[in-house]
């Protein structure tokens, strides 16, 4: 009996652990899949981004096919679509320089004029060698396509007539005849379609040549900075605003948090709670009156003005984080340091501050990310000197349908916040593990 109970407990424990791990995997997938999808699109060319369904995997090279257009001096260039599993026509023409530029912009592949000339020379040689067979196959395909067109007309006519007589008892014989004709037309169409595909498969190696070119994976990022207004200066301004916000939030919020943790005074709890009231107001509601105030101070449309506005909400969060950290550090450590000759300020700098670094790092991370990603307030508080999120937003609004370009801007926007978090990750991990004294 005890053995069965033990096995039941082990089974229950195993099921619970399996469910837990499945839940963790689900959470990770929910977080990572959108990030991966965004990264993939940011590296895709226009042709890939507008293909459907959009391929999730990255491709590092483009596969091209070039063939002559019969009866003209032009050539048709196609690119292989992983979604359609077939070659899709891109451009037809005879001007090599224009074709090369178009292919570069459309596929992010540096298809040089020399490469096109080599492919054209090769396809011309193929055509001269197989001209008779090419002409025969082309004519046969043309005739079969005419038959397909005639069959399509018959199918449409049969379906229309069938819809008229369908369900009428007096016209059952006519209905049966129409159904038989429709079935015959569709069978003939299927046979001819297969025959056309076979002849095209035979024709392809006779009048076309294939070549591969490596993609420029960072073409979208380069294009984004080229076509967006003031993008690089805006990026520098955003970094400046974020660092100023971190400095203001840590300086004022950190000292306030220490005061809340170490001193006792009337109204302390009410004052501590009131610091979070400002976070209840939408950022845009605070930004509107701040336009007048910053203009009078001479800080409107300047990084320092944005930092002051962003700091309003970040200071309150910093107070709450640092106050909790300082409360976890025993005051006896400061008193012991003072006994051995340290001043109160010296005891704070050499004893308390190093122990509070994880909390300060967490506050810095929240302040940096909060100010870096802010868009609504930046739109109101800037005019001629926008921040990088504003530039990305304007690109998103103006570049309708350019999803790969927008994705490149989004990844670029996220990168500084990720790098900043990586730089302070050691202190963040220490905070998650608790302050060790």
In a domain, 95, yes or no: yes
Per-residue pLDDT band at 169 (split at 50, 70, 90): low
Residues 345 and 417 in one domain: yes
Which of 152, 174, 156 has its CA nearest to residue 165?
Answer: 174
In a domain, 99, yes or no: yes
Residues 202 and 228 in one domain: no
Per-residue pLDDT band at 297 (split at 50, 70, 90): confident
The residues facing 65 across adjacent strands are 78, 210
In a domain, 232, yes or no: yes
Give the mean model confidence (pLDDT) for residues 238-262: 90
Per-residue pLDDT band at 241 (split at 50, 70, 90): very high
Q: Which of 214, 241, 276 is the last residue of a domain?
A: 214
Position 14 scores a pLDDT of 82
Q: Which of 214, 248, 265 is the last residue of a domain?
A: 214
Position 170 scores a pLDDT of 64
Position 102 scores a pLDDT of 92
In a domain, 56, yes or no: no
Residues 162 and 265 in one domain: no
Position 85 scores a pLDDT of 82
Average pLDDT of the chain, as a whole number: 84
Residues 186 and 256 in one domain: no
Residues 342 and 288 in one domain: yes
In a domain, 54, yes or no: no
Going 400 to 405 to 411 to 415, the CA torsion angle's sign is negative
Q: Give the residue, 25 or 401, on which the prediction is more confident.
A: 25
In a domain, 437, yes or no: no
In a domain, 47, yes or no: no
pLDDT at 326 over 50: yes
Strands 75-81 and 61-68: antiparallel
Q: Which helix (H) or strand (E) holds 43?
A: none
Residues 37 and 113 in one domain: no
Position 187 scores a pLDDT of 92
Position 76 scores a pLDDT of 92
Residues 289 and 391 in one domain: yes
Residues 279 and 246 in one domain: yes
Position 429 scores a pLDDT of 63
Position 410 scores a pLDDT of 84
Domain count across the chain: 3
In a domain, 197, yes or no: yes
Residues 261 and 136 in one domain: no
Q: How far apart are CA 272 and CA 316, in angstroms?
A: 9
Residues 121 and 233 in one domain: no
Q: Which tokens go with 411? A: 């990844």
Domain of 345, in residue numbers:
223-432
Give the mean model confidence (pLDDT) for residues 54-68: 84
Tokens 């005051």 locate to 331
Residues 132 and 233 in one domain: no
Instruction: Give whole-number Cα distances, 421 to 105, 244, 410, 427, 428, in Å.
Output: 35, 16, 17, 10, 9
Residues 179 and 227 in one domain: no
Q: What angle do CA 88, 89, 94 make, to 5 degrees?
A: 155
Tokens 């000339």 locate to 117
pLDDT at 434 over 50: no
Domain at 259, CATH number: 1.10.3720.10
Q: Which of 214, 236, 265 is the last residue of a domain?
A: 214
Return the top range by mean pLDDT from 14-28, 148-162, 257-271. 148-162
């Amino acid at each position: 009996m005890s053995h069965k109970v033990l096995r039941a407990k082990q089974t229950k424990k195993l099921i619970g652990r399996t469910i837990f791990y499945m839940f963790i995997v689900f959470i990770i997938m929910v977080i990572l899949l959108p990030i991966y999808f965004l990264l993939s699109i940011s590296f895709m060319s226009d042709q890939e981004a507008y293909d459907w369904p959009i391929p999730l995997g990255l491709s590092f090279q483009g596969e091209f096919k070039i063939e002559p257009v019969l009866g003209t001096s032009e050539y048709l260039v196609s690119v292989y679509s992983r979604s359609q599993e077939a070659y899709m026509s891109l451009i037809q023409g005879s001007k090599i320089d224009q074709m090369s530029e178009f292919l570069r912009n459309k596929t992010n592949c540096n298809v040089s004029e020399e490469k096109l000339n080599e492919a054209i020379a090769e396809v011309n040689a193929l055509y001269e060698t197989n001209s008779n067979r090419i002409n025969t196959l082309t004519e046969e395909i043309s005739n079969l396509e005419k038959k397909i067109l005639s069959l399509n007309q018959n199918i449409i006519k049969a379906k229309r007539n069938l819809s008229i007589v369908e369900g009428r008892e007096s016209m059952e014989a006519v209905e049966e005849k129409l159904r038989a004709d429709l079935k015959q037309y569709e069978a003939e169409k299927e046979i001819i379609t297969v025959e056309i595909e076979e002849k095209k498969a035979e024709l392809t190696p006779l009048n076309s040549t294939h070549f591969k070119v490596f993609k420029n994976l960072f073409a979208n990022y380069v294009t984004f900075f080229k076509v967006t207004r003031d993008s690089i200066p805006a990026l520098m301004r955003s970094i400046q605003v974020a660092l100023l916000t971190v400095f203001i939030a840590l300086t004022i919020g950190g000292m306030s948090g220490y005061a809340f943790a170490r001193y006792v005074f009337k109204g302390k709890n009410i004052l501590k709670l009131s610091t979070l009231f400002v976070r209840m107001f939408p950022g845009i509601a605070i930004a509107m009156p701040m336009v007048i105030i910053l203009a009078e101070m001479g800080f409107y449309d300047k990084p320092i003005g944005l930092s002051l506005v962003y700091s309003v909400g970040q200071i309150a969060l910093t107070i709450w984080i640092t106050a909790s950290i300082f409360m976890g550090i025993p005051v006896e450590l400061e008193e012991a340091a003072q006994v051995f000759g340290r001043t109160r300020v010296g005891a704070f700098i050499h004893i308390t501050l190093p122990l509070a670094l994880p909390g300060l790092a967490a506050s810095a991370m929240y302040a940096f990310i909060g100010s870096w990603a802010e868009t609504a307030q930046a739109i109101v508080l800037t005019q001629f000197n926008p921040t990088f999120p504003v530039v990305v937003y304007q690109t998103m609004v103006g570049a309708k349908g350019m999803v790969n370009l927008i994705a490149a801007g989004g990844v670029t926007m996220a990168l500084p916040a990720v790098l900043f978090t990586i730089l302070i990750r050691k202190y963040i991990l220490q905070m998650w593990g608790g302050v060790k004294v």
